[in-house]
Amino acid sequence: MSYTYLNDDGSPETVKTWSDILAREIPWETYATARLITDKDLQLIRRYDKRSPELKNSMLDESGPAYVEAFMTVLKNVTKPETVQYVLAVLIQMLQENPSRARLFHQQSDQHLSSQPDPYTVLERLLQRQDDWWSQDKACKLLTIVIESRPRKSVGADGDPAETHISLFLDWLVSQLNSRANLAKNPPAVVNTCISCLAALLKERATRQLLLRAGGLQVLPAVIQRARETPSGSQLLYETCLCVWQMTYLRPAAEVMGQVGIIKQLVEVCRVAQKEKVFRMALAALRNLLGYTDLGLASDMVEAGLNKVVITRQMQAWGDEDVVEMLTYVDEKLKEGIVFLSNFEKYKKEVLSNTLEWGPMHTSDLFWRENVEKFEERDFQVLRVLLKIIETNRDVKTLAVGCHDLGQFIVYHPQGRYIVNDLRGKELVMRLLAHSDVEVQKQALLCVQKLMLSKDKLDFLKS
């Protein structure tokens, strides 16, 4: 088996994997002569290298931290690709044979008391090896293991000492997923590795906060879509949905999901997923999001067709009772969401979309009587967006509806005229009196007239 990536000039470069790499003879003495490793490092490495698994285990049980430090010193000081690849393979092989060995990266021996190589810094530097994705890939996996295995007791009053390193790593992962140039240059495994590492790291709530800060949610919709369109992408699809599911336990993340297209992608996964574990994970994420009833995400799911997907999926036979229960729960919540989602929440969503269409929410006097006070929320957020639409939008229907709605606010809010004037509304609407579209002119004129009317005449319009 071989591993191919592209050189800077676009030519393919192949790296033979494990067996070929581990068969290499590395000139350890040369590195000791060049003072890149110490004589003690050389002694430890020669004693360990090419030995039987049983003998290696015995050495690690006796002086594990010293052996790990010796190999990390090589990674710190040697840049030759063949050697870097070899050492990474040795370390990962060590962890594959016994995952509990990961704790050795956090223990100090008496060999490097003054110059112990920091595993975070060493592996972060290897992530920048743009010309050697094999080493990047293995450094990425190894750094994930190091982060996962760090002693939790090290968290003190100042927080997690590794937080800066975790943030840097998350930034790198997001950049790899976000950069089309990287995805074109590197092999397809780049996405798989980055998502696998994210799924492992997001087990910790604090890491979820850091990913949200790094803009990680914004890159996931494209990854889900790519996995859906790839015939062999079921594992990538599962792990990406796992990342989303873990993030749904964070309310600020749920708010972002409603804005970046993740919900639509999850619904599509539920529609087309053939593997039960993939469907279950996507549905579990949507189930969690329905718990934030005040965010109005049920309407997004209905618009994406989730209610129809649920009906179809309920007719299938499922081996997992949890899937049946989730389908029932989601079905009930979607129905409740449709019934109880207030008209104002629907109206707010429409305004924030910057596209307005004529409908009952705009023309019904009852809507304005019942909901005009809600315009005061968040310092008149919806009203300010409506005025921004009137100022900048170019769609004639949106402008006409916007002028009409502004007039309705003036009529039904006790201080409507004054509030709109304070926010430069009169100036913005008067500009539209000369608009080329007749309907926009008409609605702008009606709005200006309402701005000019006295309170008693406005009250008459409400009766």
The fourth-level CATH superfamily of domain 343-461 is V-type ATPase, subunit H, C-terminal domain (1.25.40.150)
Q: What is the full per-residue pLDDT of the chain (463 aa) written as tens digits?
A: 444 443 333 444 444 577 889 999 999 999 999 999 999 999 999 999 999 999 999 999 999 999 999 999 999 999 999 999 999 999 999 999 999 999 999 998 877 656 778 999 999 999 998 888 889 999 999 999 999 999 874 444 456 788 999 999 999 999 999 864 444 454 567 889 999 999 999 999 999 999 999 999 999 999 999 899 888 889 999 999 999 999 999 999 999 998 898 999 999 999 999 999 999 999 999 999 999 988 878 878 887 889 889 999 999 998 889 999 999 999 998 887 665 555 788 888 889 989 998 876 788 787 888 889 999 998 999 999 999 999 999 999 999 999 999 999 999 999 998 999 999 999 999 999 999 999 999 999 999 998 988 767 666 555 4
CATH 1.25.40.150 boundaries in the chain: 343-461
- Read off the pTM: 0.72
Asked whether 208 and 247 are in contact (CB, 8 A), the reply is yes
Q: Please give the sequence-ordered ranges of beta strands (E in DSSP) within 273-424, or none if there are none.
A: none
Three-state DSSP state, 231: coil
Closest CA to 354 of 391, 304, 303, 407: 391
Q: How far apart are CA 230 and CA 232, in angstroms?
A: 6
**Quick one: DSSP state of residue 249?**
T
Q: Which CATH architecture has domain 12-108+116-149+160-272?
A: Alpha Horseshoe (1.25)
CATH 1.25.10.10 boundaries in the chain: 12-108+116-149+160-272
Q: How far apart are CA 364 and CA 10, in angstroms?
A: 62
